[in-house]
Structure 1
Amino acid sequence: MQQFARVQTDKGIIPIILKGDTHLDLRPLVSDITPDAIAGGALSNVDTSRLSPINGDFTYLAPISGIRQIAATGFNYKKHIEEFKMKTPTEPEVFLKAITSLTGPSDPVSRGPNQGVKLDWETELTIVIGREAKDISVVEAPDYIFGYVCLNDVSDRATQVDAEGGQHLVRAKSRPTYTPIGPYLATGIDGMNVDVWTKLNGHYEQQGNTSDMLFGINEMVAYFSTHMALLPGDLIATGTPPGVGFGKNRFMAVGDVLECGISHLGAQRHEIVV
């Protein structure tokens, strides 16, 4: 396993690789962690022996710069499907989130000015594509996966479901700050066996494991590649475990603190603001 991140320092943005608790400067290898750096192979099996630690204070940023597409699926955990007493899907759902919704792992999440917002959390293991993929098979899929990040698919349930019960996923999930990612981008982990959790104001709301997924990682990459061209650095969010606010009729308010994390991918912390 290797863990990468991008950090803001008083000297600018620095791409780093973690070695234990030490943050090593990747700039001898890449100027930043971008789709081109991912596709070019510079971040594969990095030799850390000649890299130097960074000094001073820093803040984690989104771990990839220049992401071009955020794809996602929903209702992909069996217990989440049971929670909502839904019919089990026969194929993954495909939708997109706006790139402008991306934010970092410790940035505030803006609820928005509409007083009717019902702001919800959805912590999701998210696939990072390593090279262009079109019409690939499930067997081929692992060769197209670079790694994984933690993503919170923040959603406004008030605009997601209309009066007739219709779903409007893009408009509910695409406001600025509605897609925090990071802090780490990890490679070499088993995406089908990691713990996923969410806390609101210090209390656990979600605790699950990706082994409960209905459609596995490789299935989803192959399926998405038949409906869209996947590019290096693209994200595929894989759904969320049970415990979202919508099922409890409890939503986030200004002043709340949202935390979430996934094994090997670090933890996020966000204050909810207007």
Structure 2
Amino acid sequence: MQQFARVLTENGIIPVVLRGDEHLDLRPIVSDITPEAIASGALKAVDTTGLSPVRGPFNYLAPISGLRQISATGFNYKKHIEEFKMKPPTEPEVFLKAVTSLAGPGDPISRGPNAGTKLDWEVELAIVVGREAQDITAAEAPNYIFGYVCLNDISDRATQVDSEGGQHLVRAKSRPGYTPIGPYLTTGIDGMNLDLWTKVNGRYEQQGSTSDMLFSVNEMLAYFSRHMTLLPGDLLATGTPPGVGFGKNRFLTPGDVLECGITNLGDQRHEIRH
């Protein structure tokens, strides 16, 4: 396992690889963590010998710069499906989120100008694509997965559903700040055996395991590759466990503190603002 991140220091943005509690400067190897760096293979099994620790205070940024696509699915956890008393889907749902919605793991989240916003949380495991994928099989999928990040699929439920009950996922999930990722981009782990959780003001709202997925990460990647070309660095969010606010009619308000995390991918913390 290796964990990568991007940090903002007084000297600018530095890509790092973790070694224990140390954050080692990756710039002797890559100038930044980008789709191009991922595709080049430079971040595969990085030799940390000779890399220097980053000194002084820093803040975590989104762990990938220059992302081109964010694809996502819904209702992929069996307990989440049961929570809404739904029939399990026979194939994954496919939708996209705007790249401009990306944010860092500690950035504040603004509800936006809509007074009726019903802001909700969805902690999700997101696949980071390692190489261009088109029409691959589930058996081939591990060769196309570079690693994983924690993604919070922030959603405005008020704009997600129209007056006739129609779903509008892209518009509900694409405002700036609605897709915080990080802090770590982690490689060399089993994506199907990770715990994930969400807290609001210190109270657990979501607790689950990726082992509860209806469609595995390999099946998901293969399915999406049949409908679009996936590029190095792209994210594929794989759904959320039970406990979203929509099912409880409880939503985020200004002043709330939203936290989430996934095993080996680090924790996020966000203040909710107007």
Please say whether Structure 1 and Structure 2 have the same fold, judged by a TM-score greater than 0.5.
yes
Provide the rounded CA distance (Å) in 2 between the counterparts of 1:64 and 1:115: 32
CA deviation after TM superposition for structure 1 residue 164, in Å: 1.9
One-letter code aligned to 2:197: W
Structure 2 partner of 1:102 = 102
Corresponding residue SS for 2:207:
strand
Count of matched residue pairs: 274
Structure 1 partner of 2:186 = 186
Provide the rounded CA distance (Å) in 2 between the counterparts of 1:174 and 1:26: 31
Q: How does 1:138-149 map to 2 (within 5 A)?
A: 138-149=138-149
One-letter code aligned to 2:92: P
One-letter code aligned to 1:36: E
In the alignment, is residue 153 of structure 1 matched against residue 145 of structure 2?
Answer: no
One-letter code aligned to 2:106: S
Structure 1 partner of 2:85 = 85
Structure 2 partner of 1:170 = 170
Provide the rounded CA distance (Å) in 1 between the counterparts of 2:171 and 2:52: 44
Structure 1 partner of 2:10 = 10
CA deviation after TM superposition for structure 1 residue 161, in Å: 1.0
In the alignment, is residue 256 of structure 1 matched against residue 256 of structure 2?
Answer: yes
One-letter code aligned to 2:51: L
Structure 1 runs (4+) greater than 6 angstroms displaced: none
CA deviation after TM superposition for structure 1 residue 235, in Å: 0.1
Corresponding residue SS for 2:220:
helix
CA deviation after TM superposition for structure 1 residue 243, in Å: 0.2
In the alignment, is residue 222 of structure 1 matched against residue 222 of structure 2?
Answer: yes
Provide the rounded CA distance (Å) in 2 between the counterparts of 1:117 and 1:228: 31
Q: How does 1:9-158 map to 2 (within 5 A)?
A: 9-158=9-158
CA deviation after TM superposition for structure 1 residue 273, in Å: 0.6
One-letter code aligned to 1:245: G
Residue-by-residue CA offset, 1:210-255 (whole Å, 9 max, x unaligned): 0000000000000000000000000000000000000000000011
Provide the rounded CA distance (Å) in 1 between the counterparts of 2:16 and 2:259: 23
CA RMSD of aligned residues (A): 0.4
Residue-by-residue CA offset, 1:94-127 (whole Å, 9 max, x unaligned): 0000011000000000101111000000000000
CA deviation after TM superposition for structure 1 residue 49, in Å: 1.2
CA deviation after TM superposition for structure 1 residue 178, in Å: 0.3
Provide the rounded CA distance (Å) in 1 between the counterparts of 2:226 and 2:114: 37
CA deviation after TM superposition for structure 1 residue 166, in Å: 1.3
Unaligned runs of 5+ in 2: none
Provide the rounded CA distance (Å) in 2 between the counterparts of 1:255 and 1:209: 29
Residue-by-residue CA offset, 1:25-72 (whole Å, 9 max, x unaligned): 000000000000000000000001111101001000000000000000
Unaligned runs of 5+ in 1: none
In the alignment, is residue 207 of structure 1 matched against residue 204 of structure 2?
Answer: no
Length-normalised TM-score, structure 1: 0.99
Provide the rounded CA distance (Å) in 2 between the counterparts of 1:213 and 1:197: 15
Provide the rounded CA distance (Å) in 2 between the counterparts of 1:111 and 1:202: 20
CA deviation after TM superposition for structure 1 residue 165, in Å: 1.5
Residue-by-residue CA offset, 1:73-105 (whole Å, 9 max, x unaligned): 000000000000011100000000001100000
Provide the rounded CA distance (Å) in 2 between the counterparts of 1:96 and 1:110: 20
Length-normalised TM-score, structure 2: 0.99
In the alignment, is residue 243 of structure 1 matched against residue 251 of structure 2?
Answer: no
Residue-by-residue CA offset, 1:185-212 (whole Å, 9 max, x unaligned): 0000100000010000000000000000
